[in-house]
Amino acid sequence: MRSSAAERTRPTFWDALVVLAVLAAAGSLLFLFRPRSGNFLTARIVLDHELVAEIELTALTGPVTLEVPGAPYPITVEAEPGRIRIAHSGCPNQDCVHIGWVSRSGGQIVCLPNRLVISVSGSDAPEVDGITG
């Protein structure tokens, strides 16, 4: 005996309604998490509680490289329009290098052996962090 579900192969009105609801939810999420314009990012480079440099990331027109003076291990900071990273460090574990580019307000790069902190701040901080894992 065949069940009635096996005989019904055409989508029903309720199937179409569920698909429409999912598409509407996806569209509203895309609208909420779209990139915001007018975000002015600034990176503060602090070594041993002293401000070494402050870089306006959104005002940059090209790449900028900075050798941080006074660090226990040699460290090179690289900034581009809208993002910053530690390109090279002589510290043992290289965790600060593996963080990679930071381009969002509230992001930080920390190198403990060098006692260096790079903080990115901006006028439009995102309300929700989209990183999972």
Per residue in 79-105, pLDDT (tens digit) is 999 899 999 999 998 999 999 999 888
List domains and CATH numbers for the chain. Answer: 41-122 (2.60.320.10)
Rounded to the nearest 10 degrees, how much is the dihedral formed by the CA atoms of 46, 77, 99, 60?
Answer: 100
If you average pLDDT over every residue of the chain, what do you get? 85
Contact predicate 121/42, CB 8 Å: yes
125 confidence band (pLDDT: 50, 70, 90): very low
